[in-house]
């Protein structure tokens, strides 16, 4: 029997030639979150299953149909379907909520959901997300939404619509659930089996069902905005005012309920209609009850997550610019052992100073080595032949201009090369080229 070593359905490889696209998104997202006072958190890939059942919610599609769960010895573990639950668990377990509030963390992580794969919907996907804990104020909602908008803008994305809604607190939710039950009860027979159970336990989840019949029935269901209590109504009005002050365009969409149970008050989504059905590139909201529900203090919190694969699809579609990947700074073409050893020692020093230096590891002839240097886009090359070694100097060639500068092969090589490199960088800067270098902060 042939062994199946193909990657599983709904997963993707990111090849070296494409990784700069990911690094562009990650760099911009990190820098933006950092400028808003967020620091990175890293959490485990799997957690106790109960954590997700408690937080994401037992009547959600994610918990009911999409989790990857294993039984290891006596314990049930689940690969994280999202980042919020694990992040809040980590905040609680490590006492972050006893420190200065608000606590602000961001993460870049893989998530796992057993959905039907299609463009923009994977079984392993990646999120950039963040969570802020401690502030009950609508100014925090505006801050988090404006952060998300900032990232999308800095990625160069256009025509991404922001939809906002309030799904209230447990007080307004009770009346709303009653109205929903009354509405759906009349058409109970047409609902899917899962929604029968939802009707009893959590009728709001019917609004989020993926079955076309349930979706059709849900179209005319009552909307939560008509049931908000005074506090939730005020919170929403203030958020709208702040967004207006910030010049952030939004649309109120009372149909947005989100697919996870922990939300209260504000929910929002950034959506594009340019990439088909999976157009939500970012989703988030407030979840004031979750921390207490997980055994912590009563601390309000909120956040969002962006699907990195979806961002990349839209960036490609809109021909957004990516930061340029790093290339070889200097390539040493060698002939024989002595020359190789020289290349090794000079490269070692250059690397210490942050340069990307390479030399032949394949035993190729000089011609083939130069061909290789061209292929990898080396900025400079140096041929280390017998003459060069005996004279103690070599010509460093600028591969773009063809210009050559003679540099001594002693301990001044690095300093001299550095000034050559610096001049080239200044020339490129004048031409506006290096500004988009992914590793501009290194070399």
Measured distance CA(171)–CA(227) in Å, rounded: 10
DSSP string, 182-214: HHHHTTGGGS-HHHHHHHHH-GGGGGG---HHH
Measured distance CA(340)–CA(157) in Å, rounded: 47
Cβ of 342: how many Cβ atoms within 10 Å? 20
Short-list 267, 308, 272, 300, CA closest to 107: 308
Give the length of the chain: 443
- 83 is an interface residue for ligand HAM by CB under 6 A: yes
Among 121, 181, 196, 443, binds ligand HAM (CB under 6 A): 121
Q: Which is nearer to ligand HAM, 172 or 267 (CB)?
A: 267
Q: Which is nearer to ligand HAM, 269 or 329 (CB)?
A: 269
- 303 is an interface residue for ligand HAM by CB under 6 A: yes
- 89 is an interface residue for ligand HAM by CB under 6 A: no
H/E stretch holding 127 reads strand 124-133
- 113 is an interface residue for ligand HAM by CB under 6 A: yes
Q: Considering CB under 6 A, how many residues would be counted as binding ligand HAM?
A: 27
- 283 is an interface residue for ligand HAM by CB under 6 A: yes
- 122 is an interface residue for ligand HAM by CB under 6 A: yes
Q: Which residues contact 196 (CB under 8 A, 6 or more apart)?
A: 188
- 104 is an interface residue for ligand HAM by CB under 6 A: no
Q: Which residue is nearest to ligand HAM (CB)?
A: 307
β pairing state of 280-286 and 103-112: unpaired
H/E stretch holding 311 reads helix 308-317
Q: How far is the CB of 126 from ligand HAM (least distance, A)?
A: 8
Residue numbers 149-178 binding ligand HAM by CB under 6 A = none
Are 57 and 261 a contacting pair, CB within 8 Å? yes
Among 307, 331, 339, 357, binds ligand HAM (CB under 6 A): 307
Are 88 and 105 a contacting pair, CB within 8 Å? no
Residue numbers 130-149 binding ligand HAM by CB under 6 A = 131
Measured distance CA(65)–CA(58) in Å, rounded: 10
Candidates 279-287, 291-299, 312-320, 335-343: pick the segment binding ligand HAM (CB under 6 A).
279-287
Residue numbers 378-397 binding ligand HAM by CB under 6 A = none
Candidates 22-30, 121-129, 183-191, 196-204: pick the segment binding ligand HAM (CB under 6 A).
121-129
- 61 is an interface residue for ligand HAM by CB under 6 A: no
With H, G, I as helix, E, B as strand and everything else as coil, classify residue 315.
Answer: helix
Q: Rule CB under 6 A: which residues touch ligand HAM?
A: 82-84, 113, 115, 120-122, 125, 127, 129, 131, 259-260, 280-285, 303-307, 309-310
């Amino acid at each position: 029997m042939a062994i199946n070593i193909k990657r599983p359905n709904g997963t993707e490889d990111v090849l070296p030639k494409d990784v700069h696209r990911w690094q562009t998104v990650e760099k911009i997202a990190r820098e933006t979150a950092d400028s808003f006072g967020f620091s990175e958190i890293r959490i485990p890939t799997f957690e106790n299953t109960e954590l997700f059942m408690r937080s994401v919610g037992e009547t959600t599609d994610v918990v009911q149909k999409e989790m990857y769960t294993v039984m290891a010895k006596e314990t049930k573990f689940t690969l994280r379907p999202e980042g919020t639950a694990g992040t809040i668990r980590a905040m609680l377990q490590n006492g972050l909520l006893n420190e200065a509030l608000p606590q602000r963390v961001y993460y870049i992580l893989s998530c796992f959901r057993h959905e039907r794969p299609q463009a923009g919907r994977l079984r392993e996907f990646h999120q950039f997300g963040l969570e802020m804990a401690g502030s009950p104020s609508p100014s925090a909602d505006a801050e988090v939404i404006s952060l998300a908008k900032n990232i999308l803008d800095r990625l160069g994305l256009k025509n991404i619509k922001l939809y906002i809604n309030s799904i209230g607190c447990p007080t307004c939710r009770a009346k709303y659930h009653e109205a929903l039950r009354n509405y759906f009860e009349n058409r109970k027979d047409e609902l899917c089996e899962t929604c029968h159970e939802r009707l009893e336990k959590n009728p709001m989840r019917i609004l989020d069902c993926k079955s076309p019949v349930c979706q059709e029935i849900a179209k005319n269901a009552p909307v939560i905005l008509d049931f908000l209590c005074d506090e939730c109504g005020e919170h929403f009005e203030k958020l709208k005012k702040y967004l207006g002050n910030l010049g952030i365009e939004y649309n109120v969409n009372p149909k947005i309920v989100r697919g996870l149970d922990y939300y209260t008050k504000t929910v929002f989504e950034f959506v594009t209609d340019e990439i088909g059905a999976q157009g939500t590139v970012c989703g988030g909201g407030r979840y004031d009850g979750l921390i207490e529900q997980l055994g912590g203090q009563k601390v309000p919190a909120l956040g969002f997550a962006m699907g990195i694969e979806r961002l990349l699809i839209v960036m490609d579609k809109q021909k957004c610019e990516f930061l340029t990947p790093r290339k070889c700074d200097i390539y040493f073409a060698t002939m024989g052992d002595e020359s190789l050893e020289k290349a090794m020692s000079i490269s070692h020093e250059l690397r210490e100073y942050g340069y990307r230096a390479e030399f032949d590891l394949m035993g190729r002839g000089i011609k083939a080595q130069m061909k290789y240097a061209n292929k990898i886009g080396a900025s400079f090359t140096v041929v280390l032949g017998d003459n060069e070694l005996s004279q103690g100097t070599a010509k460093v060639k600028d591969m773009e201009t063809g210009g050559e500068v003679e540099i001594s092969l002693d301990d001044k090589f690095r300093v001299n090369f550095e000034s050559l490199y610096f001049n080239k960088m200044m020339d490129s800067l004048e031409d506006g080229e290096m500004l988009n270098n992914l590793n501009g902060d290194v070399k």
